[in-house]
Structure 1
Amino acid sequence: MDPELVYDTHLLAPSQEYLASIKVFPLIPTIKREVLNTIDSPLSWAQLTASDVNFSIVRPLVFKFARLKNLAVVYACLVVKSYFMEEAENSLAYAGVNLSRAGLCELLAMKLLAHFASDHMQLVAVLTTSWNPLAGASEDIVSEIRQNLGGNDDDLNYPQSALEMAISTESKSFLASPVTQKVVNDIYSGRVVYSITATRTILADNYKHRGIQIYDWRSAPFLDHYRLRVPRYKNALTFLNFALLLVTFALCLSYQNVEKVTVWEVVFCVFAFAFTLDEYTAATEHGWIIYIANMWNVFDFGFILIFIGYAILRVRGLAYDHVQSSEMAFDVLACGACILFPRLAFVAISNTIVVISLRAMISEFVFFIGVAAICFSGLLFTLWTLSKDNDRWTLGSIAWLMVQIWFGNTYLSFGQAESFHPFFGPILMTMFAALSGTLLLTILISILSNVVARIDANATQEYLFQHTLTVIEGVKADALFSYQPPFNILAFVLLKPASWIVSPRALHSLNVLLIRLTSFPILVAIAIYERYLASGQRLRESGKGAAHTFFHSLPRHIKHMPIVEALVGSTSADLYGAIFDLEIDHDFELFDNEAEERPLFPPPRDDVRTPPSPTARRRPSSLFAPRREQHSPIGSPRRRVLTNLDTSAEVLAINSRSSPLARLFTRTTTAAPENSAAVEASIKRLETIVDSIKDSPIQRLKEEMKELQDRQARIENLLLVLTRGMRNDSSG
């Protein structure tokens, strides 16, 4: 199908029929073969993006695949990158080469994406369409892949978008490119609206699938339930949900009762179960890899584990009247405050550089502590074996003693050393105190410092990667995401059994009705904001106009006060904007035409018949002579004029305003001895001027620049020949 028949204007998105007809599978092995034949040695990202490699390797591949005009080519490049990354992990001997190939795939995806940037809706379709990697494959290939997967057809249907593939492969340069961020920001703000076909969801509502479109509040309904899925509004609602969960958590622990269930405990359990259902739905839809890539989801998952532990102990205590189990349940639940309180703060200031650095430092710290604990477990077993005859030391008490020593209480290591063994005890405890207090602590500080330095070097890419991850997580197809906790529990209880009984159309109608009933105040607030208070709306612009009018009515000494200027802003920007907004119908004549036509050489005086002095030869007017006047001595005007003047009796009529060249080459019918002598003087003066120009620094500089240009051309030709030779050798 011709792409021109599918896109009538830039405002129309590709049709679903056209997207379904695109062949994806043939691109994957083709890109893999081209990359294998191109990269044979390890190259860094800086080398891949260098001008010579880009000119000789990257650009030919980009132009080759861009001619296909296949919207799935960016997704296919990222799929091939995931293959090379897996090969780098499996084959360590060729890890450098495979990582270079993976980097080339990401670079190809970036370059190819720029070819779709002219059509905004087409660009959105390239990044957000969920592509099936087996689309366009033959039946033999599909059956062979089915056998390799164990004969399960459910594994064959695994569509993903290019953005999701970029997140799973950690293509941070691709996600940080301006073209990609343009689409991500439009999705975040709700300007671009698209719905994902629900394939791996708990509650799917695929009856009315909406294509990609630009949102217009004029044509949208007042209670538009699709606006609840906009990531910008979803983040604000997530903050409110965390605040409600935190309040109920605090009230549950404040009014705890081990003998019976209180009202606040029931409310907290409802909100906590709704929070668990929301997180489980997110992990089911996007997959565990994309879900766990967000560090805050790790904290959320930790709180869910704490809640599950609390629920098990609490049910056991109430069922068997076991008071200790109920007390332990509340103790476990109290540990959740260490996660829930910071999590609320990080929701409000997520994806900042400080938060990203802190998150990376926490992950590195946990990993290092885990490795250290495994290393020192041998010492723990040794001390426990040496103190078997001493009933004072148990395995737990020895572990607690080692933890105290690890965090700085080295006095215990020397005071309790002989209680383990009179000879080996002091030696082992001294070694442990030296390692934990000096060596490993220094290593830990160095690791954390390197983490912060590495993040600061790539702060922009890391920030944009987390921002893209948050946006993609916010655009979810599951119907449960349109409900705010705890109403998602109600929707799950009512709509999940109904999906097995009613038709898809009836399920869709019931779903829309339930969303509008449970989220009525939120939908009204969103509609009022987008119609009256959003940027560019009439009410907001009128309010800004009134504020500007009030500000301009203030006295001059008040407007120029430092505190007022800091709050309102300087008026210089308004002045500059007013200058460039002014429409000017005519051009200003800044240059005098007579000055442009003024002769370069002034006419010689009649009373001066001697050649100019060396100082006069170097006057500035001779340095700025036009390039066409700088001829060699063979073609100088002196030789041509002498032959004409020697054979002719006519002499030039000298005009006071004419130039020396006009006097030489203009013939008149009058002749006089005075005029002939003046012409001879002019010829001699012109000859001296030409000689001075030949010896001037400007002429020497031009010759040196010409020589440098010739050298540069020879070097470029040599590089082109070498790169072609390298490609021929690699292909051979």
Structure 2
Amino acid sequence: MDPEDPASTLLAPSAQDLASVKVFPLIPSLKKDVMKTIDSALGWNQLTATDINFSIVRPLVNKYASLNNMAVVYACLVVRSYFLAQAEVNLAHSALMMSRGMMCEILAMKLLNRFASNYIQLVAVLTTTWNPLAGAPDGVVEDVKKAMGGDDDGMDSPQSALEMAISTKAKEFLSAPISQKVVNDIYSGRVVFTLAGTRSVLADNYKPRAIEIYDTRKAPFLNHYRLRVPRYGAILEFLNFALLLLTFVLALSNQDMTTMTPWEMAFIVMASAFALEEYTAATEHGWIIYIANVWNVFDFSFIVIFFVYLGLRTKGLSDDDLEASTMAFDILACGACILFPRLAFFAISNNVVVLSLRAMISQFVFFIGIAAVCFSGLLFTLWTLAKDAPPVDRQPWTFGSIAWLMVQIWFGNTYLSFAQASSFHPLFGPILMTGFAALSNTLLLTILISILSNTVAHIDANATQEYLFQFAITTIEGVKSDALFSYQPPFNILAFLILKPASWILSPRALHTMNVFMIKVTSFPTLLIIAIYERHLAEGQGLRETGKGAAQTLRNSLPRHIKLMPLVEALVGSSTSDLYEAIFDVEVENDLGLWDDEDLYGGDYPTLRSLRSRDNLRSETPRSRRMEASVSRPRTPRMEPPSNSGSPRLLVNSALPPTLDMLAPVSVFDGTATQGPKSPLAKLFTRMPSSDSQVIAHAEASVKRVEALFEDIRDLPVHKLKEEMKELQDRQARIENLLLMLTRGMRNETGTAPHRHDTRS
């Protein structure tokens, strides 16, 4: 059997089923429903409140969940992107559009939960790349094509729900436990799937694989697809980056202005491979998703520095220009400011301090850019005044020297503003420089500190959400369909030079065969290490379990006074947690003398739920209605059946199920039974002075009569009509309560809207 045959491991919906899913009809329908239901600016807490959930969110979720369309989550996020774009354009209704965008995110979260019962289907919902025009009429497709300028290139750009969540920054959706479950399994390689490359530099779509749960027993030993597992990719990326840094340091340490040293050539090869890898990533997932990872900004900055260095170095060697070569190495040395911390942040890239630092850097750069634009007019004014100023014992002011002076004043050297003010103009110079010093060092600096403090506070309060958002970006970037990602630098350059021209002349099958052969040849040691680890050293494998057993035996063999030493306990672990785990691994019978659960509840366990929710009202039984009616019943004492000692004990009826409360109380004293009131159920369940066969026959006949009675009552149309009227009344009361709350501001009321004292699920 071909290990790459998708039919051999097919667990998810087939490609034909996914291709037949209609995506486009969902988008205008969702847009219309969200616009119709959300007509005022509401926050996240208001949109997730109980009344909004029952009156607005749940009906929409039930409506679209009934379609059983796997693309509905993706469609919600597409509509969210529309409302977010409208919030930036339509500033008058920006808050309203943001509320509608949040509603789309909430709908996506609620609808995703409906697919949780089938895990493979859940993965397919999140990872399948959907075309937003799938299922659209031909006229709509033509109109969209005309709106895009008549170009077919942008018509086929499918994306998955996870990619749409990243591009729309749906952090609540991505940080939800059900989403993180899928993301974690993708990151660790437990869930395997192949994305069809549509924008790849070198696409290999000959054998796309369906979604599957990875099993090492069925997978080939040297599985080249494991190189695309994000967990292994992160380790290999760290090693490649360390090798790049090593060649970078050696190239700068062995500079030769007249010729190119071997270390410099090695650095150029590694840097070119690194640039090709980053370009492939940006092309594969698009610039928006690529730049969403803040560290990619630093990588892109280093690539710009490298190409500037390479251009100047090439010019210096070709023209024997030592000045150009010197400038090239000086510019390359500036790249150390990026490479050294970038390697260190690989280990702590998701720490709260690092998240706050990079958020502050982006805010700082943005604020400095605004300040530079604001003070550009002052720079031009000072340069104009300096041209007409009388000569003094110093060099004349140039545009660059004035800008450098303003930078020094901005960062705290206020003395220069007063010392050099008169050199620009005897009257206007001191006024302008004093005003600039006051604005830069007092007003704007205070604003900058406040902005950075708020940024840190926001990141600190949402550290987990921000971490999970960045983790999702890293995971999606790791699952790449471009064939070049299976090659480690610098072999990706070799693969690009060989396979790219071959893709123009070879058939897809031949290209795939050649690609697999080159991957296994260039990555043979890596594939061998991964195979040995997954089969013997990974979690749950034999060698690791054997090592755990040996460590447990060694710990048990140590004397007690040695095991309790702090250092030894920190190394081998504490036995307290093992004791707790062992307690729950042992199955014991109930020996406390209490009634069994079957006796207490009749096999039906009580649950904490709202009896007034719509879902529970539909499945409400006569037993649940009796339980609801007994909630408000006052506590009355009751005698417990005798224990082994024969003495009765007093219980409270509220601690027992209502079914037992409706029975006639029976007090037993030394074997003598005293019966209470003779209700029908009491006559059914109380003991009768007759033989066992008569009691059993009487009980069976009574049970049958009661069941027939309940069936007759259930079939009565009056009873069903009463239940429907009650449900309509409850829904009307909830809607009226919601309308009162939403229109309170329009009626200038300050009091709170009346609350219903019922429990909602």
TM-score band (shorter)?
0.7 to 0.9
- Alpha-carbon distance in structure 1 between the residues aligned to 2:163 and 2:338: 28
Map of 2:577 onto structure 1: 573
- Of 581, 586, 593, the residue aligned with 1:582 is 586
In structure 2, do the counterparts of structure 1 residues 557 and 313 end up closer, same or farther at CA, with 3 Å as the change threshold?
same
The CA distance in 1 between the partners of 2:657 and 2:26, in whole Å, is 58
Q: Which moved more, 1:464-473 or 1:252-261?
A: 252-261
Is 2:17 the partner of 1:18?
yes
Counterparts of residues 649-660 of structure 1 (less than 5 Å): none
Q: Secondary structure of the equivalent of 1:68?
A: coil
Name the structure 1 match of 2:523.
Answer: 519
Asked whether 1:460 is paired with 2:475, we answer no
**CA-CA distance at 1:533 after TM superposition:** 0.6
CA RMSD in angstroms, aligned pairs only: 3.0
Alignment partners' CA distance in 1, 2:656 and 2:247: 87
CA separation of 1:402 and 1:537: change in aligned 2, threshold 3 A: same
Question: Residue in 2 aligned with 1:708?
Answer: none
CA contact (8 A) 2:641 2:648 kept: no
Q: Is contact 2:9–2:210 with CA below 8 Å preserved after alignment?
A: no
How do residues 69-468 of structure 1 correspond to structure 2 at under 5 angstroms?
69-388=68-387, 389=389, 390=391, 391-468=395-472
Contact 1:38–1:727 (Cα < 8 Å) also in 2: no
**C-alpha spacing 1:582/1:394, structure 2 compared with 1 (3 Å):** same
Distance 1:723 1:255 in 2: 74
Native 8 Å contact 2:291 2:297 kept in 1: yes
TM-score by length of 1: 0.82
CA deviation vs aligned residue, 1:518-575 (integer Å, no higher than 9, x gap): 1111111111110111011110111111111111111111111122223333211111
**Residue 66 (str. 1) matches residue 70 (str. 2):** no
Q: Is residue 536 from structure 1 mapped to residue 584 from structure 2 by the alignment?
A: no
* Aligned equivalent of 1:594: 642
Amino acid paired to 1:185: N
Equivalent of 1:545, from 543, 546, 549? 549
Letter matched to residue 734 of structure 2: L
Q: Which amino acid aligns with 1:62?
A: V
Is 1:721 equivalent to 2:750 in the alignment? Answer: no
Distance 2:412 2:99 in 1: 45
**How far apart, in 1, do the equivalents of 2:676 and 2:92 lie?**
80
Match of 1:617 in 2: none
In the aligned structure 2, how far is the partner of 1:624 from the partner of 1:48? Answer: 37
When structure 1 is superposed on structure 2, of 145-154 and 526-535 the one drifting more is: 145-154
Mapped contact 2:593–2:643 kept (Cα < 8 A)? no
More displaced, 376-385 or 514-523? 376-385
- State the distance in 2 between where 1:562 and 1:167 align: 45
8 Å CA contact retained: 2:254, 2:263: yes
In the TM superposition, what are the counterparts of 1:592-631 in structure 2 within 5 Å?
593-595=641-643, 598=647
Post-superposition shift, 1:138?
A: 1.5
CA 1:625–1:229 in 2, change beyond 3 Å: closer, same or farther? closer
Query: What is the CA deviation profile of residues 330-367 of structure 1, one whole-angstrom value per residue up to 9, with x for unaligned ones?
Result: 11111111111111111222222221111101000111
Say if 1:11 and 1:121, in contact at 8 Å, map to a contact too. no
In structure 1, the partner of 2:705 is: none
CA drift at 1:36: 1.3
Q: Which moved more, 1:350-359 or 1:45-54?
A: 350-359
Distance 1:629 1:524 in 2: 66
CA distance in 2, matches of 1:656, 1:127: 67
Aligned residue for 2:149, secondary structure, equals coil
Any idea what SS the aligned residue of 1:155 has? coil
CA contact (8 A) 2:410 2:437 kept: yes
Find the aligned partners of 1:420 and 1:51 in 2 and give their Cα distance: 66
Task: Check conservation: 2:251, 2:267, Cα contact below 8 A.
Answer: yes
Is the 1:10–1:119 contact (alpha carbons within 8 Å) kept by the matching residues of 2? Answer: no
Q: CA deviation at 1:460?
A: 1.4
Report the residue type matching 1:247 in the other structure: L
Preserved CA contact (<8 Å) 1:24 1:134 = yes
- Tell me the distance in 2 between the aligned counterparts of 1:157 and 1:590: 67
Contact conserved, 1:28 with 1:76, CA < 8 A, in 2? yes
Larger radius of gyration: 1
SS of equivalent to 2:345: helix
Aligned counterpart, 1:491: 495
Gap regions ≥5 residues in structure 2: 1-6, 596-639, 663-668, 678-727, 744-761
Question: 1:506 and 1:76, CA in 2 relative to 1: closer, same or farther beyond 3 A?
Answer: same
Aligned equivalents of 2:58, 2:140: Cα separation in 1: 31
1:614-637 deviation digits (Å, cap 9, x = unpaired): xxxxxx999999999999xxxxxx
2-structure distance, mates of 1:623, 1:194: 54
The answer to whether the 8 A contact 1:11-1:214 is kept is no
Identify if the C-alpha distance between structure 1 residues 600 and 553 changes in structure 2 by more than 3 Å, giving closer, same or farther: closer
Unaligned 5+ segments in structure 1 are 1-7, 602-619, 632-654, 664-712
Residues 373-410 of structure 1: CA deviation (Å, up to 9, x unaligned): 22222222222112114452111111111111222222
Shift of 1:503: 1.1
Q: Bigger shift: 216-225 or 375-384?
A: 375-384
Equivalence for 2:486: 482
| Mapped partners of 1:313, 1:551: distance in 2 | 64
Note the C-alpha offset of 1:720.
3.7
TM-score, normalized by length of structure 2? 0.79
Task: Describe the superposition over 1:94-138 as per-residue Cα deviations: whole angstroms up to 9, x where unpaired.
Answer: 111111111111110000000000001000000000001111111
C-alpha separation in 1, matches of 2:510 and 2:554: 55
Q: Once structures 1 and 2 are overlaid, which stretch shifts more, 14-23 or 344-353?
A: 344-353
- Return the alpha-carbon distance in structure 2 between the equivalents of residues 626 and 81 of structure 1: 47
In structure 2, relative to structure 1, the CA distance for the partners of 1:134 and 1:657 (3 Å cut) is closer
Deviations 1:452-486 (A, max 9, x none): 11111211111110000000000000000000011
The 3-state SS of whatever aligns with 1:348 is: coil
Whichever structure has more helix as a proportion of its residues is 1
Distance 1:276 1:600 in 2: 81
Distance 2:657 2:410 in 1: 82
Q: Secondary structure at the match of 1:434?
A: helix
Partner AA of 1:386 in structure 2: L
| Residues 1:217 and 1:626: Cα distance change in structure 2 (over 3 Å) | closer
| Cα distance in 1, alignment partners of residues 133 and 398 from structure 2 | 59
Superposition pairs for residues 664-683 of structure 1, below 5 Å?
Answer: none
Q: Distance in 2 between matches of 1:350 and 1:626?
A: 54
In structure 2, distance between residues paired with 1:723 and 1:15: 44
Residues 387, 420 of structure 1: 8 Å contact kept: yes
Contact kept? 1:317, 1:323, Cα under 8 Å: yes
| d(CA) in 2 for partners of 1:10, 1:523 | 21
**Which residue of 2 is the match for residue 694 of structure 1?**
none
Opposite residue 417 of structure 2, the aligned amino acid is S
For 1:599 and 1:325, how far apart are their aligned partners in 2? Answer: 103
Offset at residue 308 of structure 1 (A) = 1.0
Alpha-carbon deviations, 1:673-697, whole Å to 9, x = none? xxxxxxxxxxxxxxxxxxxxxxxxx
Aligned partners of 2:152, 2:50: CA distance in 1, in Å?
46
Q: Percent identity?
A: 65
Q: 1:157 to 1:595 in 2, by over 3 A?
A: same
Residue type at the aligned position of 1:556: R
Q: What letter corresponds to residue 193 of structure 2 in structure 1?
A: Y
